[in-house]
Amino acid sequence: MLAAPAAKTQAPRADRRVHRTRRALRDALMALLPEVGWDHIDVAKLCERADIGRSTFYLHYTDKTALLRGAFGDLQEHLVSHLDTQDEAASPFPFLPGLLNHVHEQQAVFRALLGRRSSHAVQAHFQDLLISLFSPPKPPRGSRKTPLANARADMLAGSLFHLLVWWLGSARPHSPSEVEAMFLAFSVCDTQAIWPPA
């Protein structure tokens, strides 16, 4: 009985250590991507940059791809958790401003992720993130998810992916709000469409 309070005080400390370690590894990944590119990053480089041991790395992630997926998962959670009802009412894609601002702030990282030095696997993971953001919420239990919702999410994710690649490679810089306006203009037919047509 006397040990229980000690366990309660140690758990938050352990959680903070886990959070610090994962953040250090993700910061190391974000720093290495523009420097050496995805293909030249390995666990040894990540551990050296994060100043942690390999055994600690494997306590948290199976490989560098799992670390990347974790970073994308955190980004998705952050974008969705910072939305409010006003955001959702004001835009058909309320997560978009936050995503574009993040890409703008981390241009070097996203050029490495989406550019020529990237790999198809990395780009596929990023497109999966975009598809998740465009996908409608899970339908109520017992109802069927329409295949058209999946098709729409895939189409919009692909369009945004290629717009981001163009934006990051463009000689003329555009602001996040300009890129958002472009995407909304390009996708306006989709947001107003009724399928199948009458």
- pLDDT, residue 143, reads 60
CA distances 124 to 17, 32, 61, 104, Å, are 31, 20, 19, 20
The interaxial angle of helices 96-105 and 64-81, nearest 10 deg, is 130
C-beta separation of 29 from 46 below 8 A:
yes
Return the domain boundaries, the chain.
Answer: 1-61, 64-198
Structure tokens, 75: 């980004």
pLDDT digits (tens, 9 = 90+) for 9-49: 455 666 888 889 999 999 999 999 999 989 999 999 999 99
C-beta separation of 135 from 149 below 8 A:
yes
pLDDT in tens, the chain (198 residues): 333 333 444 556 668 888 899 999 999 999 999 999 899 999 999 999 999 999 999 999 999 999 999 999 999 998 888 776 655 556 789 999 999 999 999 999 999 998 877 788 899 999 999 999 998 776 656 566 567 878 889 999 999 999 999 999 887 779 999 999 999 988 865 544 444 444
Give one word for 51, left, alpha or beta, with left for phi > 0 and alpha for psi -120 to 50: left
CATH class of 1-61: mainly alpha
Flag whether the pTM goes above 0.85: no
Distance CA 89, CA 48 (A): 46
